[in-house]
A = this chain, B = another copy of it.
Amino acid sequence: MREFLTLLSPQAALERWLNALSDSEPDGEDIPSIEALGRVTIAGIRAPEPMPSFPRSTVDGYAVRAADTFGASDSLPAYLRLVGEVGMGKAPDFILQPGQAALIYTGGMLPEGADAVVMLEHTQVTLPGEIEVLRAVAVGENVLKVGEDVQVGDEVIPAGVRLRPAEIGGLMGLGITKLRVAKRPRVGIISSGDEVIPPDQPLGMAQVRDINSYSIGALVDMLGGIPQRYGIVPDREEALREVLTRALSESQMVIISAGSSISTRDLTARVMDEMGPPGVLVHGINIRPGKPTILAVCNGKPVLGLSGNPVSALVVASLFLPAVLDKLSGVKLQRPRARVQARLTINLPSQAGREDYVPVRLMETQEGYLAEPIFYKSNLIFSLVRADGVLRIPADATGLGLGATAEVWLL
């Protein structure tokens, strides 16, 4: 189970992985809309009523019949009889007749008979009970029609949308106070390595504390999954096999942060490959950091093998997890990911044919962001702590020059 000789690009590797996943839809659960931020719709949501549900003024002014204002100007005003005022939240108890106007506020309901609103600043009150209209309005001007935002039965939110504040507001506006969403996918996380101990234990010589279970767990949480930690497994085939079997049966996905040595990585890949078809799909990716990444699918469930190196593990997880967690959550509408464009403060060499991700600190200037690379040796988690994001050097470049613009993915 050695690494494959021809390494795939990250994009090709991700595509192969996603395509091998089961197409089954996630299970649903009913929750209050008020708790639905970040959750994913499981069915299209249709409007049970129109919005707005009555003709509304969009300005402060006078409800009129547009025809009564035709030709009106500063020098030749139209004179209308003021017959009332529309109270907020109440349907007007009168019908507007030709030659009449009624005071109305933003959001107020147009009286029957009216078909437009003249803005306050285009009117003048000269005699009590009469207004002068100084500008003509067209039919429908300054008015929201019934159903102008949504009509009854419109699909206002399709299936597979991750809900943001705008959607929460829209649901409430339509009186939809609960809805069915996809269950959050449960992601099993396993750390392996004879040298790894839990963070709360005293550190012996030659030991390191488990970082990846927690950094990757936090990322899973951030991306809408439920991290389920399975602790630390020694570098023995049976031990790994037993925990992986259990994690796979209890989760929608499993992530293994393997030891960093070649033999440990091979052991991990071998065990993953046994867990059900198609097994390991990608072993080794043309990327730095993250070359030893393993992508597998076992009986329809994704399994991700990360290097034990915490920098490599977190960079690779940041690249691969958003798409796979979206898929497991039933997301059909992919939103753009947070990134910024930045100019490099130095020359940055790289190897052509391989995608490099370099941790950078960003500095905001008048002309946009500057990206200052953070140099680090393998394995230093605090090089990522010092970074705002990772700068991508495309595979077709042999590096980027001082002042070159590149994309930075925010961490």
Given contacts A107-B261, A172-B213, 6 further A-B contacts (CB under 8 A): A89-B195, A106-B260, A144-B378, A150-B382, A166-B387, A336-B364
A369 interface residue (CB < 8 Å to B): yes
Could you give 12 example pairs across A and B, Cβ below 8 Å?
A58-B379, A88-B259, A89-B194, A89-B204, A164-B218, A165-B222, A165-B411, A166-B387, A166-B411, A173-B199, A335-B410, A339-B340
| Interfacial chain B residues near A339, Cβ < 8 Å | 338, 340
The answer to whether B222 and A107 have CB atoms under 8 Å apart is no
> Within the oligomer, what is the number of copies of this chain?
2
Chain A, range 46-94, C-beta contacts under 8 Å to B: 49, 51-54, 56, 58, 60, 87-92
The answer to whether B388 and A335 have CB atoms under 8 Å apart is yes
Task: Give the interface of A toward B (CB within 8 A).
Answer: 33-34, 37, 49, 51-54, 56, 58, 60, 87-92, 105-109, 120, 144, 148-150, 156-157, 164-177, 193-196, 199-201, 203-219, 221-222, 235, 259-264, 308, 310, 314, 335-341, 362, 364, 369, 377-385, 387-389, 408, 410-411
A205 to B384, CA, bound (A): 56
A221 to B163, CA, bound (A): 13
User: Assuming A91-B206, A150-B382, A369-B336, is B218 touching A168 (CB within 8 A)?
Assistant: yes
User: Assuming A165-B216, A411-B165, is B193 touching A172 (CB within 8 A)?
Assistant: no
Closest-CB distance, A263 to chain B (whole angstroms): 7
A353 to B37, CA, bound (A): 36
Closest-CB distance, A277 to chain B (whole angstroms): 30
| Interfacial chain B residues near A377, Cβ < 8 Å | 58, 144, 148
User: Assuming A175-B200, A218-B37, A336-B410, is B205 touching A60 (CB within 8 A)?
Assistant: no
| Interfacial chain B residues near A213, Cβ < 8 Å | 172
A165 to B219, CA, bound (A): 6
Q: Lowest 7 CB-CB distances: which A-B pairs, in order? A: A169-B215, A338-B338, A89-B195, A105-B261, A106-B260, A109-B206, A91-B205
The answer to whether A263 and B340 have CB atoms under 8 Å apart is no
Closest-CB distance, A331 to chain B (whole angstroms): 14
A200 to B177, CA, bound (A): 6
